[in-house]
Structure 1
Amino acid sequence: MTVESSLGARTAVPPGSATPDGPVRFAVLGDSFSEGLGDRVDGAWRGWAPLLADGLAAEGRKTVLLNLAVGGALSRDVDEDQRPRALAFRPHLASVVVGVNDTLRRTFDIGLLAHRLDRVLADLDAAGAVVLTACLPDPGRMLGLPPPLARPLARRQRTVNAVVHALSDRYDTVHLHLDDATWTEDRALWSADRLHPGERGHRAVAAAFHRLLVARGLAHGTPPAREPAEPPPTRAEALLWLATAGTGWVLRRSRDLLPQLLLLAGAELRHWADGTGTDPLDARADAALAAALTATMGR
């Protein structure tokens, strides 16, 4: 497998061909979930995409992987920055997994996210790429936040997943459900930060995508191994990560996230205090989602 990074090509890659003798071109768009955070090999993040790429092509055919995913990326970044580069790569397969970072922002707008994601998927589909998508668990539940903080994030992620489901149906994507209990309740799949898969989780994601692709006749290589090749991090290493890189992750987002989370939590508590519960907030989110889907699916 030939690999290009999001920072530029390490190896010159020919345009390739859609014929059986040409390389399979696989573009990866998204955020840290697809960048590989939580699965470090030889000092660099690997993740599920290279593991899947190794099992795409039949014997004698190469796979060229272009991973454009960057930690912290928003739907805007995928639409404006990663989409043009992916289209220029002319991929046969392209994965698009994004949205969690949008839910952690003050400026979260489900209508804009739906519009951007629709444009990304539409352009890749029109270019002839088979698109891979996934819905993700909400970060509040994964982090074990208290209910007033967790509920707003869950509400936002629920709308993101609803948009992803609708667009996945529209473009007949290869879709993976990562927000169900099979994935979220198995802590062995997740890294120390509880937001990104560890090596076992990345291998599980790669294997699940591989099964779906095989069912469509789109993967012809050996399935990714399910068992980790690297030893799991020790408890001391996990605590060190949380105290260094993990703390940095939280602090970088707290400049925008923490004030917004406090406002959202305050709204939750006010509705509980006046006896209305979360029904008005749920209704508002449902209305915004309905408007987003109407606008997007009507185009």
Structure 2
Amino acid sequence: MNKLCNLLNLKNEDELFDKIKHSFKEKITKWDYFVNWLKVFSNIKPIEKELNLLNFLIGKEDIEKEAFDLIKQYPEVVKAFPTLIAIREKSVDILIDTKKFIYKNYSFTRKKLTDEECKELAYFVVNSGIGEILRDKKVKNLVDYATGIEVGLDSNGRKNRGGTLMESLVEEFVADTCQNLGLQYLAQATSKKIKQHWGLDVIVDKSSRQLDFAINKNGKLFFIECNFYGGGGSKLKSTATEYIEMNRYWNKQGIEFIWITDGAGWKSTLKPLREYFDKADYLLNLEMLKNNILTEILK
């Protein structure tokens, strides 16, 4: 019988699994989920001067000529171009001949530009659409515009922030539990860190292996991995399959493995979760952490 059944005084594993699947959280959104403002403004600061120089072009009729003159006098302004078109790359290849598939490369890193390169970059301003919004005064300040672009680009990081949020939530419980029980833990634990801090040897399956948390109970290790899935998909199945093997691998070394997962995504992907549950000792969710089950496991 699953070890958690005994800890929770449940009759059988089916009752335990029902308890898990009926208590998944829909959301774990916190204030810092929406926008990483520190990152947004740190990306704007290095190009703020260049954006203010480019403000000169707002309202100009002959944008291409004015852009050429500005780039020739202040070639550093081109380093702001990627942000203006909402990309992270420092150069782009534009398909200019669809018959022969000929590309034109535009680089935004050169500090010295020839007249021909200034002309090409002015042409880029016009044809990328930047010229039109400047000429027609559709933006009033490029620093403000670029800040909006950075907010939009930062929204792509929300998927990763979901994982970070889960880790921060779990760490609150891990830290409190370890403090109450007089145990030590490491976040983002590697075999090297475990050896350095605790003098314990761990054989890893790959050199890059990093555990969300490792807990040391008088020389016995507990490894924790955590994740949150707001939506379904193949990732959930592959994670469950990977963790079945991970659980077996750590158990062979006498290490207990605890998987803490949550999210509405599991409601439509229960089969692989059940497969893990049937082959491992510890499957927890946030509701179980709230009810101090981690303390019961570690006592």
* Both proteins in one fold, TM over 0.5: no
In our comparison, the structure showing a higher alpha carbon Rg is 2
TM-score normalised over the length of structure 1 = 0.31
TM-score normalised over the length of structure 2 = 0.31
Higher helix share: 2
